[in-house]
Structures are given as structure tokens and as C-alpha cells.
């Protein structure tokens, strides 16, 4: 396998789907049909694909030894020894430097948001991944900053309730991921990551419950808030609440009954019922906001 393909695999393009969070501000600011803003959002999405790809290389570099003992991660290019760590480090520096330049070229606020994202992910990879609870907040910050980046790129304000909802759903996804890893690794969890010594199933389940409740309540308040009603000139956005509830309950079903949630992007975009929920949500939101 040639080096370029090994580098691409290390950047995990399948997980770049997480960057669709960037389009949240575009959709809820009713600017989907604004060509300039749409193209700027596409540029931002592409830039964050580069950034996240670089961060995945960083994660693999910092976890080489631990990944060698993991039944699935041991197949990754760096852990398996197929990709030279020196080449990976050079690619990491080049990719993150270019992506930061691209971000600042779009606008300064986006550049600073991208820089904050990179700093948090570096802190996570180097030491915060071993700090209980802080590790999950770092994972959640990645989703949250994508939403902020989308708003900064097209220079539109974003509702405080929507930002709070983003925080809770990010924590929901991050905690579900931790729970999946904890169960999957079993007694070997400590050998893979020291922070698993600080977790147990009861604690993780309670935190998932809090994040779930926070997501539902904050989204409901967002759809019903006077600010939202004035902005969209409609009270009908609350009609999407049952769809959101169904999607969350389905995700919980996959996490608790099917031991899913390890890769949020796979769980969200490979389960047919969640895909139908996402499609239906998009259609209903489109009709309410634009027609």
C-alpha cells in the first residue's frame, strides 16, 4: 500500500462526516440559498476536514503503543508499523498549518475558532485524555466548535439556546462513545487508557441520562423561545420535537441494546431508522423555515 493511501487512512475520511455540524448556522439562519454563504460554508467544511484529519494523525501518534494492544486499532497504519511516524509528523505539521491559513483567509473569527479547536485537541491528545470527565468535555468541544465555526464563517449570530443544545448533544455523543469503549474493552480497558480506572457503568449511565435530558429540554426551549419565533416568524418549529425525541431514543437503543455508539458517525449515518429520522427532520425544518 503506497504512503499516500496510508496517510489518507490515518486521516480517517469516514469520520469527516462529523463536520456537517458546520452547516447548522447556515440552515438555521435561513441562508441556505445565499450562494456566497453556502460556498463559504463548503470552504469551512473542507478546511475542518483537513484539521480533523490532522488531529486523527496526532491521536494515532500519541496512542501508538496503546493501539498495538487493541483488537481493531492495531490495524491502523501507524500502530501496525506500515506508516513511518516521521512521515506522519511532517504531514501533521503541513496539514494543520495549511488549514489554519485557510481559516484565517476566510475571516479572523473563524481562524481563531479553528486555532482553539486545534489547541483543545492537542491538550486532549497529550494529557487531558487521561483526566476523568475532562476527556469527555474535550470530545464534546470538537462538536461544539464546529457549530461555532459555521456561524463565524458566514458571520451570523446563533441562538444561545441552540448553542446550549449543541453542548448537551455533544456530551451525549461523547459519553455514549466512552460507555461503548468501556464495555467493549472490559478488563483490558485500563491497559488501553488509564482514565478508564476512574469510570464505571453506573457513573457513565447517569451522565448519559443528564446529557440526554439536557439535549431534549434545551432543544425544546429553543423551538419555543420568543427569540426563535420572532426570527422565523413561526411557532411551528416545535413540531420537530417528536422527531428529535425519536432519533435520540433510537440512538439510546443502539447504545444500550446493540452496544453501539463507539463511532457516532457510523451510528448516526448507518442505522436506517436514524437516517430516516434525519431525513424527515431536514424536510420538516426546510418546510417550516423556508416555505
pLDDT tens digits for 94-110? 999 999 999 999 999 99
* pLDDT of the residue at 197: 82
DSSP 209-261: HHHHHHHHHHHHHHHHSHHHHHHHT-SGGGGGHHHHHHHHHHHHHHHHHS---
CA separation (Å) from 48 to 61, 157, 258? 20, 20, 31
pLDDT in tens, 121-146: 999 988 888 899 998 898 889 889 99
> Assign residue 288 a region: left if phi > 0, alpha if psi is -120 to 50, beta otherwise?
alpha
Indicate the pTM of the whole model.
Answer: 0.86
The answer to whether 114 and 99 have CB atoms below 8 angstroms apart is: yes
CB atoms within 10 A of CB 85: 13
179 near 48, Cβ under 8 Å? no
Between 191 and 79, residue with greater pLDDT: 79
What is the SS3 assignment for 271? Answer: coil
Q: 175: which residues sit within 8 A by CB, 6+ positions away? A: 136, 204, 207, 208, 211
Q: Are 64 and 83 in contact (CB under 8 A)?
A: no
Quote the CA–CA distance of 177 and 5 in Å, as a whole number. Answer: 27
Contact 47, 118 (CB under 8 A): no
Across 227-252, average pLDDT? 92
CB atoms inside a 10 Å sphere around CB 64? 17
Domain 1-158: give its CATH code: 1.10.357.140
The predicted structure's pLDDT at residue 93: 94
What is the rounded distance in angstroms from the CA atom of residue 151 to the CA atom of residue 148? 5
Give the per-residue pLDDT at 187.
67
pLDDT of residue 64: 83
How far apart are alpha carbons 136 and 204 in whole angstroms? 11
At 11-66, the pLDDT tens digits run 988 888 889 999 999 998 889 899 999 999 999 999 999 999 999 999 888 888 77
Tally of CB atoms within 10 A around 201: 10
Length of the chain: 291
Domain ranges in the chain are: 1-158, 159-291
Amino acid at each position: 500500500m503506497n504512503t499516500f493511501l496510508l496517510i489518507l487512512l490515518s486521516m480517517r475520511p469516514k469520520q469527516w462526516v462529523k463536520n456537517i455540524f458546520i452547516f447548522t448556522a447556515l440552515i438555521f439562519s435561513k441562508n441556505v440559498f445565499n450562494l456566497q454563504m453556502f460556498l463559504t460554508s463548503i470552504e469551512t467544511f473542507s478546511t475542518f476536514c483537513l484539521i480533523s484529519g490532522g488531529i486523527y494523525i496526532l491521536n494515532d501518534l500519541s496512542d501508538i503503543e496503546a493501539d498495538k494492544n487493541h483488537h481493531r486499532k492495531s490495524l491502523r497504519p501507524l500502530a501496525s508499523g506500515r506508516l513511518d511516524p516521521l512521515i506522519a509528523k511532517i504531514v501533521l505539521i503541513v496539514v494543520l498549518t495549511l488549514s489554519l491559513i485557510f481559516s484565517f483567509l476566510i475571516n479572523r473569527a473563524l481562524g481563531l475558532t479553528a486555532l482553539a479547536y486545534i489547541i483543545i485537541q492537542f491538550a486532549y491528545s497529550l494529557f487531558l485524555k487521561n483526566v476523568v470527565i475532562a476527556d469527555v468535555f474535550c470530545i464534546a468541544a470538537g462538536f461544539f466548535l464546529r457549530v461555532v465555526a459555521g456561524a463565524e464563517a458566514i458571520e451570523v449570530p446563533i441562538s444561545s439556546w441552540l448553542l446550549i443544545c449543541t453542548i448537551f448533544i455533544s456530551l451525549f455523543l461523547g459519553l455514549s462513545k466512552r460507555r461503548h469503549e468501556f464495555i467493549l474493552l472490559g478488563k483490558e480497558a485500563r491497559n488501553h487508557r488509564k482514565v478508564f480506572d476512574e469510570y464505571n457503568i453506573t457513573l457513565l449511565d447517569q451522565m448519559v441520562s443528564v446529557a440526554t435530558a439536557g439535549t431534549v429540554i434545551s432543544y425544546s426551549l429553543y423551538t419555543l423561545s420568543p427569540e426563535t419565533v420572532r426570527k422565523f416568524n413561526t411557532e411551528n418549529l416545535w413540531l420537530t420535537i417528536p422527531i428529535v425525541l425519536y432519533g435520540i431514543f433510537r440512538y439510546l437503543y443502539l447504545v444500550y441494546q446493540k452496544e453501539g455508539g463507539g463511532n457516532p458517525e457510523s451510528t448516526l449515518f448507518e442505522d436506517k431508522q436514524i437516517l430516516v429520522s434525519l431525513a424527515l427532520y431536514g424536510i420538516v425544518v426546510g418546510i417550516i423555515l423556508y416555505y
